[in-house]
Structure 1
Amino acid sequence: MPLTGFISSLLCFNLWLTWNFLTPASCHLLQRPCRLASRIALCNDYQLSSVPRDLPGNIAELQLNNNRISTLQGTCLSGYPALVILSCAGNLLDTIEPDAFLRTSHIESLSLPDNNLSVGYWRTGRALRALTKLRTLDLSGNGLTEEMASFVLENLTSLEYLYLSRNIMLRLDQDIFRDHHQLKELNLEKNMLFEIDSAFDHLQKLQRLNVAFNSLPCLVNFQLTQLVELNASHNAIELFTSHQDMEETFRLETLDLSDNKLFFFPFLPKHSHIRNLLLSNNRVSFYEHLTDNSSTNWNSTVQFFNLKGNASNVTVKLWDESLRGGISTMDLLDLTGNQVNYLPEGFLSKMPSLSRLKLGTNCLEYLDLASEAFPSSLHELDMSNNKLTTLQGNQSMLHKLSNLTHLYLNLNDLQALPPWLFSALPSITTVDLSYNRVRICSLKENSITPEYSDCAVWRNITSLRQLYLAGCSLKHLPSAAFERTSITHLDLSNNPEILIRQDTLAGLGRTLQHLDLGNTGLHEFDFTPFRHLKSLNISSNYIAQLPGSLLSLHLRFLDLRNNRLTTIPSQQANTIVQRVQTLFLGGNPFNCCLSDWYTTFKLSATWPYVTKNRRWSHP
């Protein structure tokens, strides 16, 4: 998760002024003038090889990004003593002369990413010593090793925001940030870090730390109580543990451990305010079931070893609930893409504030919406791409999920569920049941209330707005299947044997905005009642003539690919040009002798894509 630097805002939204240079022979002659706005000089992208010398002397911000400056010489900035912000990103900068900042010591923000400062880091480090008020420093992408960075950063005691991403640092020890007691934000992503040894322990004001995209194998004895956000995603972390003996309350709110190699749910601090725990794309599973079998050879504890082969002091019971730490303030828990095959008893009840639970792409085979004790605060539940065959829940318990709005069950193998399930969720707005084997209950079945069925009732769900039933092997859609709903998005695609009659979608004309009927065996259909449609997909069907009812709609998107169209009448083509913004026509057997429509489209746009906010695909 990239973090942007803190830049003091001095920009006044005045009219841009153009200023021409009268440059002496010793200064760089500009091909185009810089731009001035208030006390800001914008000299970006001008192929400059040196700093302009005759800008107004009172400028507070100077931007020199994307030029060809290789050296900041000793006198190049002496004419700008009021400078507070200097940005020289994306140049050829390899050296800053030691006296370059002697007359601009008020600089608070210095941005030097994507240069070559590793070449002259010794002289650059000496130059930075003059910036006693420097608060923000960006040295990203300069090829710095940890030894180089340590020297460059020496004595910069006023730093609050430091960015060192995209360098080549391997290991951090307690000395590299020893002078930076004021640091609030530190970005170290995309280095080559494999070890961190007490480098942050003395940074008592550090709130945001980014070590993503490195090669860290573990984070143990985490004890940064003041940290609010930690991004350690995209490493090789197998274990995360906090210091188990600390009684202090941790301020940590967001912990991102996604895209690692975690085997266990992280051992969080006992007292914390964590709200967002991101664990997607790991190998997390739960192991409490191993204690149920007395004949198992598994030990009840496990001891972890560090890289040097010495036993660490992390010896834990894998099924000790206390090691989950303080999770009562959790708002988002993302376990997408792990190996979870069940949730431990009482696990969810310990998170009474949980709003979003993401369990997609795991190994869950069973789900009981009642017995799992989902918190009433839950808004979003994602159980997609698991191995669920049956969904259970009783009507009285489901009313406790009064705040659930989004439910994702797609890509399972559901064949049985309570038919009234979705109508028992009073706030439900979005349901995705795509690629299951659940049909739509008929009106007769709607009056019968079996405990479980292979169909679901969609009538009278007044809160429902988005419904996705793609690839459900639907064949017969009962009449008024969505009666007394306010659906805006309906996806029935990839049901090639479905029979869609005009009365099937009765009642949706006043609300439906996005309709997907791709690959549904459609030959013709009257779209006149759906006057609010903005997006329509009727691709991969058997449509031989463009339905005339489409011409009365104000569609933004229309997909007609892979049908049987041989031509489009001129009048229809003219109407489409005026109303449709994005049109896909590929894969149709168009007759080259009946191609007047082609000329109409070509004259309205730069072929094959966009002008006038319209886009056409190749026929």
Structure 2
Amino acid sequence: MTACVSAVSAACREDVYTVKIKEVKRGISASVSAAELHTRERTLQQRVNQRYGQGINRQWLGKSTPNHQCNKDVKMPVHGLTHILLCLLPMWRILTPVSSHPQHSRCHLIQRTALCNNAKLTSVPAGLPDNTEELQLNYNHIQTLQGSSLSYPSLITLSLACNNVERLESNTFQDSKLLESLNLANNNLHIGYQETSHALKTLPRLRVLDFSENELDDEMAATLLQNLTSLEYLNLSGNLLRRLDETSFQDLHQLKELDLQRNLIFEIDVAFDRNPQLQRLNLAFNYLPCLIDFHMTQMVVLNASHNFIEWFIATQDLNDTFQLETLDLSDNKLLFFPFLPDQSRLRNLYLSHNSIRFYEHLAGNNTDLNSTTTVEFYNIKKYKSNVTAELWNENLHGDISSLEILDLRGNQVEYFPQGFIQKMPVLSRLQMCTNCLKTLNLTSEQLSSSLYELDVSNNRLEQFVADEGTMTALGNLTYLNLSLNDLRQLPSGLFSSLPSVRSVDLSYNEIDICLPEKAENSIDNMSPCVDWKNIESLKQLYLKGCNLEIIPSCAFTGLSLTHLDLSDNPGLIVRESIGSLSRTLQHLGLGNTQIQDFDFSPFQSLKSVNISRNSLAHLPSSLLKLDLNVLDLRDNKLPTIPSGHANALAQKLHTVFLTGNPFNCCQTEWFRTFEATKTINVVGQSDIECQDLFQTIHRVENSQSFLCWEDGGESIFWRVLENDYYCPMKADALTAT
């Protein structure tokens, strides 16, 4: 697999890499700052060591004199002190090295595992059981692993993540030859990487190695990985790698999984050709411009998301079947659907947030003599590659017969090439949100009978066509999202033909609900309204912003909906129409419907209610009878929430939305109630505002300068300061001012 420069792609030219050099310089600056930080931490560690050593000495002296009460009465002659100290000196010399090591009392022992995390250790603890197999030293202050400090012959797993480790002495593992897993993530190995590499070479059984977040560049990483022939899992994420070549991982013949995400990589010229066992590769969040000549037939999972890739082209002349199952190219700069292997087992293809289009309509229409229909590729060293591609050749889609998930969200797809969907007979999820589709003909596309989810929301759909046979074949379709389109009609009987449909979203289309007398009326098998009576499988229905004015009383007959959203239908009359759902409905959206007096009491199963943007001047009392978890009251005209209501809601609610209401600053006891209830999340709490008598806006949370009137005509000017006192002021005094 090669990272390349396209002869026709401006984004893949060499001048782009000036940006990468700047990134590297930023990394150098970061390392300087880190060095300053290390100096401060060393000073702190020395102070800790001094205090720790003194503590050990006191503890030892205390043990030598167990009866402290008796010691108070002992009068020690001054002339005898020197003699006693001279007698203790040999013992002191023996005990001093012991006291300099952190005691394993800071570790928690569980069978053969020692947990010494976050214990402020500056070295490996001594005195642990000899049969210790796992030692965790994460979040400590260890800088160097000394050869004499790791004397546990049964040790298999060692974790030193998030320390200040700069180097491992060459004989560090002389007594731990069985070590298989070593975690050195988030340290400073870039400082002593050469000596550390000698230590690693003494581990013949090392299988798992984590070098993430160590500021390692290409040369450092290559040095550290020399002769690690037993390694199977390697993490180099979050470093400063830029260019990888055939020498980078040349000794890792057993490598199965490699994580290179969040580096500065812009070239990977045949870097993995000497890793025949490599099955999982993560290249996400780098600077790769292209991936061509992909010939790693053994690869199972490849994540190259969040790069700058404009081309993905697999080698086309291989007879071997690619083992690739998951390919993630999301958040790149792809212009074309990837040119996949001719034979593969690809199941999951993630292509969201690119610039993919299909160009079948341009084939044979090339009238410009100066234009070309082929593209050639060069690697970063300006050597021409023998990989070429015909731009409009849709056969290069490759083998997609095993595809189960196709994610094309956020692209520029206007249509599917003829026969494209038919090539995916086992497709279960087709995600096409935010594209440019104008027509979707399910009959001609022949969607898979295995289709479970179809999301074509936020397109430009004006036509959604399907005959009766096609709809019947979609017996497995469970989630259908047609929201945010320009649909005005749908196939007659669409939903009654989908026996497994559970969730339907028709929001923001011009689709009406059929009246009983119009349910059977249609033109050319298309109907301007929908009917879903007696569809037992349907549980979630979203009809936001469909310009609905009235819902027939029988619209939801025979349904057992748990979710119904009718928001953004101003003037909608619901009342009796949703009464049949009172037993099952759990989530109800009535935001921006201009409701005023709606009785919620019959809906005892409700857990979430949205009545935002309805100009409500008071809280519907019927809500208090429900066992709600979520309540959305945003953008209404609530001046307050009565204390009784607030107390009742506080005992039930988990989340409440209240911003955008003209609350009265003198009636904010409800806020204190919610604030004192630790189980409630008041979303946007700091943005909730109120008005005082002068129409001055305050944040309820801050409780500042409120002018309030008492029942007897007397006014009180409240000012809550840091010391929580207030000063009363008479009404006549205020009038005089």
TM score, norm. by length of structure 2: 0.77
CA gap of 1:462–1:161, structure 2 versus 1, over 3 A, is same
Query: Deviations along 1:224-268, whole A, 9 cap, x unmatched?
Result: 111110111111111111111100111110011111111111111
Correspondence for 1:110: 182
Deviations 1:311-333 (A, max 9, x none): 43223333434322211110001
CA distance in 2, matches of 1:394, 1:460: 21
Q: CA offsets, 1:408-436, max 9 Å, x none?
A: 11122222323532222221111112222
Checking the alignment, whether the CA contact within 8 Å between 2:357 and 2:414 is kept in structure 1 is: yes
Cα RMSD for the two superposed structures = 2.2
1:430 equivalenced with 2:503 (yes/no): yes
Distance 2:613 2:96 in 1: 69
Alignment correspondent of 2:159: 87
- Does the residue aligned with 1:506 lie in a helix, a strand or coil? helix
Q: Per-residue displacement from partner, 1:429-451 (whole Å, max 9, x unpaired)?
A: 11112222222222222142333
**Alignment counterpart, residue 534 of structure 1, candidates 580, 604, 607:** 607
- Give the secondary structure class of the aligned counterpart of 2:490: coil
Task: Tell me which residue corresponds to 1:407.
Answer: 480
| From 514, 530, 546, the counterpart of 1:441 | 514
Q: After superposition, where does 1:468-479 map in structure 2 within 5 Å?
A: 468-479=542-553
Q: Distance in 1 between matches of 2:231 and 2:364?
A: 54
Runs of 5+ in structure 2 lacking a partner?
Answer: 1-54, 61-94, 689-737
1:561 aligns with: 634
Secondary structure, in 3 states, of the residue corresponding to 1:396? Answer: helix
The correspondence for 1:237, drawn from 287, 290, 309, is: 309
Tell me the amino acid that sits aligned with residue 504 of structure 2: V
Amino acid aligned to 1:457: D
Deviation at 1:112, TM superposition (A): 0.2
Matches within 5 A, 1:32-43: 33-43=106-116
Secondary structure (helix, strand or coil) at the match of 1:144 reads: coil
Contact 1:524 1:543 in 2 (8 A): no
Question: 1:420 touches 1:449 (CA, 8 Å); kept in 2?
Answer: no
Secondary structure class of the residue paired with 1:230: strand
1:465 corresponds in structure 2 to 539
Structure 2 counterpart of 1:161: 233
Q: Aligned residue for 1:260?
A: 332
Whole-angstrom CA distance in 1 between matches of 2:426 and 2:237: 35
Does residue 1:180 correspond to 2:252, yes or no? yes
Distance 2:158 2:449 in 1: 51
2:285 pairs with 1:251: no
Task: Work out which of the residue numbers 332, 348, 357 in structure 1 matches 2:430.
Answer: 357
CA distance in 2, matches of 1:107, 1:36: 19
Distance 2:198 2:403 in 1: 46
Q: Classify 1:525/1:256 alpha carbon distance in 2 versus 1 (closer, same or farther; 3 Å).
A: same
Q: 1:63 aligns with which of 127, 136, 144?
A: 136
Match of residue 99, structure 1, among 146, 168, 171: 171
Q: What CA distance in whole angstroms lies between the structure 2 residues aligned with 1:445 and 1:324?
A: 45
Q: Are the structure 2 counterparts of residues 239 and 593 from structure 1 closer, same or farther at C-alpha, using a change threshold of 3 Å? A: closer
Q: Check conservation: 1:483, 1:506, Cα contact below 8 A.
A: no
- The reply to whether residue 133 of structure 1 matches residue 205 of structure 2 is yes
Is the counterpart of residue 614 in structure 1 residue 688 in structure 2? no
* Separation (CA, whole Å) in 2 of partners of 1:616 and 1:32: 44
Matched residue type, 1:65: N
**Residue 369, structure 1, aligned to residue 446, structure 2:** no
Q: How does 1:165-564 map to 2 (within 5 A)?
A: 165-291=237-363, 293=365, 295=367, 301-306=373-378, 307-450=380-523, 451-495=525-569, 497-564=570-637
> Which residue pairs with 2:80 in the alignment?
none
Work out whether residues 521 and 527 of structure 2, in 8 Å CA contact, stay in contact via their aligned partners in 1: no
Cα distance change on mapping 1:482 and 1:579 into 2, 3 Å: same
CA–CA separation in structure 1 for the residues paired with 2:591 and 2:112: 57
Tell me the residue number matched to 1:53.
126
Q: Name the CA distance, whole Å, in 2 between partners of 1:297 and 1:439.
A: 52
Per-residue CA deviations over 1:6-64 (Å, capped at 9, x if unaligned) read xxxxxxxxxxxxxx999954324469722111111111112221111122222111111
* 8 Å contact kept, 1:267–1:325: yes
Contact 2:550 2:574 in 1 (8 A): no
Q: Which of 469-478 and 330-339 deviates more?
A: 469-478
**Partner Cα separation in structure 1 for residue 236 and residue 389 of structure 2:** 35
* 2:103–2:127 CA contact under 8 A, matched in 1: no
Partner residue of 1:575? 648
Give the Cα–Cα distance (whole angstroms) in 2 for the partners of residues 376 and 56 of structure 1: 60
Q: Deviations over 1:164-199 (max 9, x none)?
A: 111111111111211111111111111111111222
Q: What is the count of residue pairs matched by the alignment? A: 591
Amino acid at match of 1:588: N
Higher relative contact order (CA 8 A, sep 6+): 2
Cα deviation for residue 544 of structure 1 reads 2.2
Q: Distance in 2 between matches of 1:31 and 1:101?
A: 20
Moved more, 417-426 or 253-262: 417-426
Moved more, 408-417 or 210-219: 408-417
Runs of 4+ in 1 over 6 A off after TM superposition: 20-23
Query: Cα offset for 1:493?
Result: 1.5
- Please give the secondary structure, in 2, of the residue aligned with 1:252: coil
Query: SS at 1:431's partner residue?
Result: strand
The residue matched to 1:370 in structure 2 has which SS? helix
Distance 2:180 2:242 in 1: 29
Name the residue aligned to 2:73.
none
Instruction: Write the distance in 2 (CA, Å) between the matches of 1:338 and 1:70.
Output: 48
Query: 1:220 offset after TM fit, Å?
Result: 1.2
Range that drifts further, 429-438 or 532-541: 429-438
TM-score by length of structure 1 reads 0.91
Superposition deviation, residue 379 in structure 1: 0.7
Alpha-carbon distance in structure 2 between the residues aligned to 1:185 and 1:62: 23
Q: State how far apart, in whole Å, the 2-side matches of 1:30 and 1:563 are.
A: 63
Deviation at 1:299, TM superposition (A): 6.4
| 1:85 and 1:107 in contact (8 A); partners too | yes
Work out the CA distance in 2 between the residues paired with 1:593 and 1:163. Answer: 59
Cα deviation, 1:358-391, whole Å, max 9, x if unaligned, reads: 1111111111122211111111111111111222
Q: Deviations over 1:492-551 (max 9, x none)?
A: 1122x2323311213111211111111221212111221111111111212222222212
Whole-Å separation in 2 of the counterparts to 1:601 and 1:293:
67
Could you tell me how far 1:335 is from its partner in structure 2? Answer: 1.0
Q: Sequence identity of aligned pairs in percent?
A: 53
Task: Confirm or deny: 8 A CA contact 1:288 1:318 kept in the other structure.
Answer: no
Counterpart-to-counterpart distance in 1, 2:499 and 2:320: 41
* Alpha-carbon distance in 2 for matches of 1:96, 1:131: 13
Partners of 2:555 and 2:486 lie apart in 1 by 23
User: Rg: which structure is higher?
Assistant: 2
Gaps of 5+ in 1: 1-19, 606-610
Conservation of the 8 A alpha-carbon contact between 1:31 and 1:46: no
> Which amino acid letter does the alignment assign opposite residue 240 of structure 1?
F
TM-aligned CA distance change 1:56 to 1:32, over 3 Å: closer
Give, in whole Å, the separation in 1 of the partners of 2:370 and 2:599. 65
Structure 1 contact 303–311 (Cα < 8 Å) conserved: no
